[in-house]
Structure 1
């Protein structure tokens, strides 16, 4: 796992050098802190002198993943032998639920680094928002394509696409860069001026081949 040092509960237990430690999960967590995931065998901690700021590890994680994956998932065709010769390691991001920081992470993986993402639909949060937007996007555009557009000018087509985008924003209940209380995500998370709908929409519109879904309710 890769975790921000300033957000780990009981992090003082780990502040040692040259020896092993046994990490004991604190009985109570402070606000904006979380214990280590016990199913991880190894951790890399990112310490940028901040405290209680989730997301400080995202830039390092992105660069690290891009470094080890190389061009494994570029749009160019590459044979298995070529990948092995180059020393590239295939990478995929698996998302279960997730919050606002996860939306940013998925966007960076898909748009910037071209790393595929597997989202578990039905776990809530980020996964369900992406799944809802993805399926509605395909549905709306299928309906538009089925209609006769041979005589429509580019401005009309662009207008229809913008209408679809507006409908999607309303369906996801993300209006004016904020999550409505009825949204599938926790609306109490403080906003930071980022339009999260735009991040989701960009992934689906520009890189939908990198988005994969498993619907847990269907299995």
Structure 2
């Protein structure tokens, strides 16, 4: 009888041992699966807090919130975003076109095609000036954009910084001024960053190119001054 009791006790102990072994394997398999999944997602640290499968890359391009004028991003409406300096203030300007589509690499200076830019935005090219354009609305009102330069000198290598002005005037159909007589966008100095207008020897800064594209876009639907200033003129360095 004692022998049978001993055998019975041993049998029970073996059953418990097998049960414990099975739970351990199942629990281990579950834990291994979870750890593998998290490691693939790069969310679980191993080896003392280091995840060997996780690679941290340095961000490329400008910091978040900054604008790279060489690679302008688009907003939800498809407008390209640029940052330029207007009256010594950093200003975010949006246009419906990418100005780099109109800039051609050349030697010694790159060229910007104002005529193609204005044509693509529905303006009529005017014979006078550089980038001179006219936009007529359905009600007969229209806007004129013209350009003037301060001299005929052309010697960028000497550091000469000729001013170039882009003027805007809005008219009603009877040729009376609408809202304002003129808005002038002047380049303070373009010697350090020159772009020639077409095949001419008149040059503008990159910021003036952006401002010109903005004016072409803005005045298709507006007659109010694009920039609110007390003098009616703004300066882009």
* Shorter-normalised TM range: under 0.3
Normalising by the residue count of structure 2, what TM-score does the alignment of the two structures yield?
Answer: 0.23
Of the two, which has the highest radius of gyration?
A: 2
Q: Which of the pair has the greater relative contact order for Cα pairs under 8 Å at 6+ separation?
A: 1
